[in-house]
Structure 1
Amino acid sequence: MELKNRFAMAPMGPLGFSDAEGGWNSRGIEYYVARARGGVGLIITGITPVTNPAEKFPNGSVPMPMRNPGAFLRTSRELVERVHAYDAKIMLQLGAGFGRVIMTSFLQGGAQPVAPSPIKHRWSEAICREMTVEEIHATVRSMGDSAVLAQRAGFDGIQIHAVHEGYLLDQFATSFYNQRTDEYGGSLDNRLRFAREIVDEIKERCGSDYPVTLRFSPKSFVKDWREGGLPGEDFVEKGRDLPEGLDAARLFEEYGYDALDIDVGTYDSWFWNHPPMYQKKGLYVPFAKAVSDAVGIKVICAGRMDDPDIALAAVEDGATDIVSLGRPLLADADYVNKLHSGHQNLIRPCLSCQEGCMGRIEAFAAINCAVNPQCGREAEWRLHPALRSKTVMIVGGGVAGCEAARVLALRGHVPVIYEASAALGGNLIPGGVPDFKEDDLALIRWYEATLADLGVEVHLNSPVDEKVIAASAADEIIVATGSVPRLFALPGGVPVFSAADVLEGVSDPGARTVIVGGGLVGCELALHLADHGVNVTIVEQAEDILEVSGPLCEANHMMLHELMPFKGIATVTSATVLRATPRGVVVAVGGSEREIASESVILSVGYTSNRTLYEAVRDSGKELHLLGDARKVSNIMYGIWDAFEVASGL
């Protein structure tokens, strides 16, 4: 297989892209075609489960080749032909099964989850039953059946899902999960037998030159059941460690796999396979380099590879042959074309927030993107030219105001932004201060560049009041005045600051501080301060941190939760702040009072909609629209999505 460039679209669960028969629906086809149109050389579809007699995957969730082979063949033909029109290649990812990591809701009729051995289910207290040899053989045959169907449909190759992330094949390959004593347990070669039989089956039935790749994690980062090792943490690996991972890579080459698609981690250390912003960019490159040095077959590497300099260095160093982009291609389907044409400043950045992608998948919705409302809805949400060009005044230059201006300009309207402060971005400005939130600031720069490219008029240091609204001749007015931090007084003690003032350097918290509020903002602020040598204690009224406004995606939640003690951040939960003192703050916890020594108190107890202007002019007779946090305090995703929705309909 020859690729036109070294960029691949990484496989991501195609939730929402199946029709009732297990084929591809129009959403799924448009989703992949948009990335082919955007310049990527290779597309690897998300997982399509084969028939595993031990697992019953629910209808309508993702495409499944053998659910209705005719429907799958017909719709796959359309997908493949359209992708090939852009000189891109496309591989079908086939999944052997979930095993112990299958979602509880997928266990139809109270079925017991399966695994290589009777081990703990990932999401419940159930004990898995051991998969039978007959079920293994049936799954291998189904892999072959599905590959033959894919080849008939025109797919350029197959990727096997997966000896990675703790899925069924990975459980068989890892001694921590595999306690069998038959031919599928014991030695490494035996534990890899399942994966070997699959590639043998496909090569025998599809031909030895039909490409078959493997998604592979050479290291597990497992401390124990449901416990993952953090970056920089010293721990005993209970899963697969790198030396065994390299031995396995050599065996996969010997078995006949044509490429290895590298990441690390399992569902017990999920923040490695689905890295949040708290992981470094290019985090898999060292592991890909080790594998690349150990084998002669091609290596594919994903994992926050959106920085072109990191990607180029990995290729030049021989760490990888192909750079795989997952979430960055959700954020911007045209990433490759923009990079190729020298318009890197117009590439919409991925925030690694996982709200629209993994978070939506966990909620059993379609895969989407927080910063790209059209992702997964390319056809339905295609922008149409306005019937009549209107002048639209936008009050507020946060993400909602900027997104509304972008969409309006693309449709032929004339938006004009009025921002009271000296810069666009709103709450993204303080939110982007921590090193791990760099992409929040990149999103602001993207809006600045995009709006300039579209010729949108922007007025900074331009507050708007009732008189300005009354005098405006705009056809429509969008009020996107954002939100302000909730504050309360604690007089007579150490100084009290807002989280935003501390993040922006307006206020110095000193060497020891107490953060009131253990939501997402409070925890990220704590992490930022701890990285700069500040002793931090979080006081949270709920029973645990991140219970309110916490990350939707479990990988983000899991990692941030584990980082608190690892970074030395103390947490006091089920606690209420009573008063400040010259020495710190007094809290009520467990029926008694306790004083926590600190030099300051930082309030991170949420935000309140700033609707003052809207309330003053709502009865003015003007065509008004309320957007963003001014309408309802939410997150970046809904601020952008709501703005897109309203602006696309004006």
Structure 2
Amino acid sequence: MTRHADAGDRTSDPLLQPFQLKSIQLRNRIVSTSHASMLDEGGMPLERYQRYHEEKARGGLAMTMVGGSAMTSPDSSWGGGQLDLSSDRIIPHLQQLSARIHAQGAAVMCQVSHLGRRATSFANHWLPVVAPSRIRETRNRAFPREMDRSDIDRIVADFADAARRCVEGGMDGLETVTGGHLIGQFLSPRTNQRTDGFGGSARNRARFGLMAHEAIRKAVGDDVAVGIRFVIDEGVSDGSDVEDCLELARLFEREGHIDFFNCIYGRMDTELALTEDNMPGMFQANAPFLGKVEQFRKETRLPLLHAAGIRDLATARHAVREGIVDLVGMTRAHIADPHLVEKLIRGEEDRVRPCIGASYCLYKKVNCIHNPTSGRETTLSPTVARAGEPLKVVVVGGGPAGLEAARVSAERGHVVALYEAAPKLGGQILVAASAAERKDLIAIVDWRVRELEHLGVPVHCNTYADTDAILAQSPDIVIMATGGVPDLEWLDGAELCDSVWDVLTGSVAGKDDVLIYDGTGRQPAASCTLHLARQGKAVLLATPDDSLSIEMPYTDKSSFRRRFAELGVRSMTDMRLVRVSRRANGLVALFRHELTGAETEIETKQVVVEHGTAPLTEVYDDLRGRAANRGVTDPRWLIARESGAERTGRAPGTFDLHRIGDAVASRDIYSSIHEAYRLCSKL
């Protein structure tokens, strides 16, 4: 069945022009591509999964693609977080999902895949992993069994059955995926060392994928759009280079069973390959593979889609206007702002919440580092509702928590004032963004500053709001978002040490020989390490954890570790810092091994410590006795789904007091923004 989008407001913007893809009339050129959201329940797309995709459809995109790595077969599981297309049980749930998407005027497709060697033998059905050849993947670690002809025939039939279920479920089309998945494992000489009719030449390596697509086409008919997420260059000497990928692409085109290419680059068999050569994060430039796609476009004839680090509408517009792609995937950008197309149509492009490439959504799927409602649509409304009556809200602190608290309170219709003791808004983000790899974090601050200007919220920088100043405002609500300061109180000899903040902000220079102690496993110590190593300093990075960067998204972890290796950074794990003291012309740091208790002394010129923050609570503590709620935020009320005013019995002339972000405890940016949104959407 052909699905038609609402006509909407059409302008000369290339992104807002309709596009015909097979039988689907797409209302614009912006799509969200398939990804593993981890919102399924037992492989079924139930309410959480449906609401997540429905919100993007409501926000105006042309098409959302579901089912990242959706499994065709029982032996295609990586242990959870995939749609299960291996039985008819999924069909009614797909029907509900597609009906919701179509009701919003958007199209919906599903990715259909077999993981091959990327699957696991140690979860779900505990089946042996199969692959074209017996070659282990570094990242997912399974030792596969080489497929025989019965495996090939079975899985080809599974592809066809999965595709049929998608169509019966109301999907407008589907795509398979090469990359590191089974079809791609057959295509690449790195993973296909067969000597039969399925290995060797490009035609033989393509045979399995061609068989799968022929079976899919027979199962779904000629009118259904079928595409392939296709690697256009593996980027390694022993893999498929540009010419080999083009030869493979022409084979698929000539067979006539596919209708579009969804172009991807690189590999995904190691964490580093996945993050730097496939799903680019903060260490990579915006849209790093567009040039490769442009080369591919010149040699192929089918419509092209591409999504890889296209974070902003200007880059997306360029890709469509210059004819590099027909459809542009803004997948992570939609996690940041599911309403970005609607804002574009309204002429509010400057109000789109920006994707900054932090890849938090790949770490805590699918939570955006600064959109707390993404993936939580069943518990947090993606749009802020107006309050029943306006209140006077005083927010103290202009870091991420305070900025979000002020923004959401103003969206609710409250009268808001924001006070920040420092000369600039941003709090700890200003420190984080001073590191080269994390400079784009500043967009979290910039967007909120613009939103506060749009909402008319008065902001008072260089203003220390003490108890008297706050009470003079006669507030109804006081929100303390005062953050924290580097926590060194626990350390014997802390007065001899510097903090990561000191070094990254330039208030303290790095010496030639530096010991950095990372007590969190987060980005600050790693950023400081690179900052000093690039200056030619000899850096030793020590941590009490069993590995470096343990709390980071894998995208950051692998990229930091690569650069540590390139710069010759030394490291120690399982080592807890106990004491720092002076010795001769330098310092000596005493460490205790976490496993053995053995003590080790390290001599150095400088010790830099990262151990999170200690909350600043002086004004909060002073206000607690005067607040109607005694400064207590009931966690049961906070996490309840129903919005509405807090039940405190507050008398006229009194105020409620709440504390959020690092003013409570040292956490991360997402936690601060999520806490602020959740609280203030109820006030």
Same fold (TM over 0.5): yes
Aligned to 1:248: 248
Q: Aligned equivalents of 1:557 and 1:144: distance in 2?
A: 38
Seq. identity, %:
29
**How far off its partner does 1:430 sit?**
1.2
For 1:141, give the aligned amino acid.
Answer: A
Which deviates more, 254-263 or 456-465? 254-263
Deviations 1:479-512 (A, max 9, x none): 111011124799899x854322332333333666
Aligned to 2:662: 629
**How far off its partner does 1:450 sit?**
0.9
**How far off its partner does 1:284 sit?**
1.7
TM-score (ref. length: structure 2): 0.82
Matched, 1:647 2:664: no
**How far off its partner does 1:529 sit?**
4.2
Aligned to 1:522: 525
**How far off its partner does 1:515 sit?**
3.0
Instruction: Verify the 8 A CA contact 1:408 1:648 in the aligned structure 2.
Output: yes
Aligned to 1:286: 291
**How far off its partner does 1:442 sit?**
0.8
Q: Aligned equivalents of 1:418 and 1:560: distance in 2?
A: 36
Aligned to 1:29: 50
Matched, 1:610 2:624: no
Change (3 A) 1:554 1:492: closer
**How far off its partner does 1:124 sit?**
6.8
**How far off its partner does 1:451 sit?**
1.5
Aligned to 1:99: 116
Aligned to 2:671: 638
Matched, 1:329 2:334: yes
Change (3 A) 1:573 1:278: same
Aligned to 1:163: 178
Change (3 A) 1:3 1:55: closer
Q: Aligned equivalents of 2:61 and 2:207: distance in 1?
A: 34
**How far off its partner does 1:578 sit?**
3.8
Aligned match for 2:537, one of 530, 535, 538: 535
Instruction: Verify the 8 A CA contact 1:629 1:639 in the aligned structure 2.
Output: yes
Please give the residue correspondences for 1:308-327 in structure 2 after superposition, counting only pairs within 5 Å.
308-327=313-332
Aligned to 2:27: 4
Aligned to 1:233: none
Aligned to 1:620: 626
Change (3 A) 1:572 1:388: same
Aligned to 2:562: 562
**How far off its partner does 1:587 sit?**
4.3
Q: Aligned equivalents of 1:35 and 1:522: distance in 2?
A: 36
Deviations 1:287-319 (A, max 9, x none): 212322221222222121113343334345543
Q: Secondary structure at the match of 1:68?
A: helix
**How far off its partner does 1:370 sit?**
2.5
Matched, 1:147 2:163: yes
Aligned to 2:363: 359
**How far off its partner does 1:413 sit?**
2.2
Aligned to 1:205: 219
Which deviates more, 403-412 or 633-642? 403-412
Q: Aligned equivalents of 1:191 and 1:201: distance in 2?
A: 17
Instruction: Verify the 8 A CA contact 1:515 1:539 in the aligned structure 2.
Output: yes
Q: Aligned equivalents of 1:196 and 1:38: distance in 2?
A: 36
**How far off its partner does 1:428 sit?**
0.4
Q: Secondary structure at the match of 2:218?
A: helix
**How far off its partner does 1:601 sit?**
4.4
Matched, 1:173 2:190: no
Task: State the superposition RMSD in angstroms.
Answer: 3.0
Aligned to 1:380: 379
Change (3 A) 1:593 1:81: closer
Instruction: Verify the 8 A CA contact 2:92 2:169 in the aligned structure 1.
Output: no
Change (3 A) 1:587 1:48: closer
Q: Aligned equivalents of 1:75 and 1:262: distance in 2?
A: 29
**How far off its partner does 1:440 sit?**
1.1
Q: Aligned equivalents of 1:504 and 1:128: distance in 2?
A: 49
Q: Aligned equivalents of 1:40 and 1:582: distance in 2?
A: 65
Show structure 2 runs of 5+ residues with no match.
1-20, 592-597, 629-655
Change (3 A) 1:177 1:588: farther
**How far off its partner does 1:56 sit?**
5.7
Q: Aligned equivalents of 1:100 and 1:583: distance in 2?
A: 56
Aligned to 1:442: 443
Instruction: Verify the 8 A CA contact 1:496 1:601 in the aligned structure 2.
Output: yes
For 2:27, give the aligned amino acid.
Answer: K
**How far off its partner does 1:332 sit?**
0.4
Change (3 A) 1:582 1:59: closer
Instruction: Verify the 8 A CA contact 1:214 1:260 in the aligned structure 2.
Output: yes
Please give the residue correspondences for 1:120-519 in structure 2 after superposition, counting only pairs within 5 Å.
120=136, 122=138, 126-160=142-176, 162-164=177-179, 166-220=180-234, 237-256=237-256, 257-263=258-264, 264-268=266-270, 269-271=273-275, 272-355=277-360, 357-361=361-365, 367-382=366-381, 383-487=384-488, 497-509=498-510, 513-517=514-518, 519=521
Q: Aligned equivalents of 1:220 and 1:419: distance in 2?
A: 49
Q: Secondary structure at the match of 1:29?
A: helix
Instruction: Verify the 8 A CA contact 2:137 2:269 in the aligned structure 1.
Output: no
Question: How many residue pairs end up in the alignment?
Answer: 615
**How far off its partner does 1:368 sit?**
2.9
Q: Aligned equivalents of 2:585 and 2:231: distance in 1?
A: 50
Instruction: Verify the 8 A CA contact 2:44 2:93 in the aligned structure 1.
Output: yes
Which deviates more, 587-596 or 441-450? 587-596
Q: Aligned equivalents of 1:606 and 1:59: distance in 2?
A: 32
Q: Aligned equivalents of 1:528 and 1:10: distance in 2?
A: 35
**How far off its partner does 1:569 sit?**
3.0
Q: Aligned equivalents of 1:70 and 1:91: distance in 2?
A: 14
Q: Secondary structure at the match of 1:289?
A: helix
**How far off its partner does 1:277 sit?**
0.9
Matched, 1:111 2:127: yes
TM-score (ref. length: structure 1): 0.86
Q: Secondary structure at the match of 1:637?
A: helix
**How far off its partner does 1:340 sit?**
4.2
For 2:428, give the aligned amino acid.
Answer: N
Q: Aligned equivalents of 1:581 and 1:139: distance in 2?
A: 68
Instruction: Verify the 8 A CA contact 2:67 2:82 in the aligned structure 1.
Output: no
Change (3 A) 1:281 1:490: farther
Instruction: Verify the 8 A CA contact 1:114 1:129 in the aligned structure 2.
Output: yes
Change (3 A) 1:266 1:541: closer
**How far off its partner does 1:270 sit?**
1.9
Q: Aligned equivalents of 1:595 and 1:12: distance in 2?
A: 48
For 1:397, give the aligned amino acid.
Answer: G
Instruction: Verify the 8 A CA contact 2:133 2:191 in the aligned structure 1.
Output: yes
For 1:526, give the aligned amino acid.
Answer: T
Instruction: Verify the 8 A CA contact 2:407 2:451 in the aligned structure 1.
Output: yes
Deviations 1:85-122 (A, max 9, x none): 2xx33222212x222222565343x4332222223254
Q: Aligned equivalents of 1:607 and 1:396: distance in 2?
A: 15
Deviations 1:411-460 (A, max 9, x none): 22223211111222110011112233232111101000111212222221
Change (3 A) 1:556 1:107: farther
Q: Aligned equivalents of 2:611 and 2:90: distance in 1?
A: 53
Q: Aligned equivalents of 2:443 and 2:185: distance in 1?
A: 39
Aligned to 2:70: 49
Change (3 A) 1:284 1:541: same
Change (3 A) 1:186 1:250: same
Aligned to 1:231: none
Instruction: Verify the 8 A CA contact 2:482 2:663 in the aligned structure 1.
Output: yes
Q: Secondary structure at the match of 1:477?
A: strand
For 1:606, give the aligned amino acid.
Answer: G
Instruction: Verify the 8 A CA contact 2:486 2:612 in the aligned structure 1.
Output: yes
For 1:400, give the aligned amino acid.
Answer: A
Q: Aligned equivalents of 1:76 and 1:477: distance in 2?
A: 42
Change (3 A) 1:456 1:499: same
Aligned match for 1:71, one of 92, 105, 108: 92
Instruction: Verify the 8 A CA contact 1:104 1:123 in the aligned structure 2.
Output: no
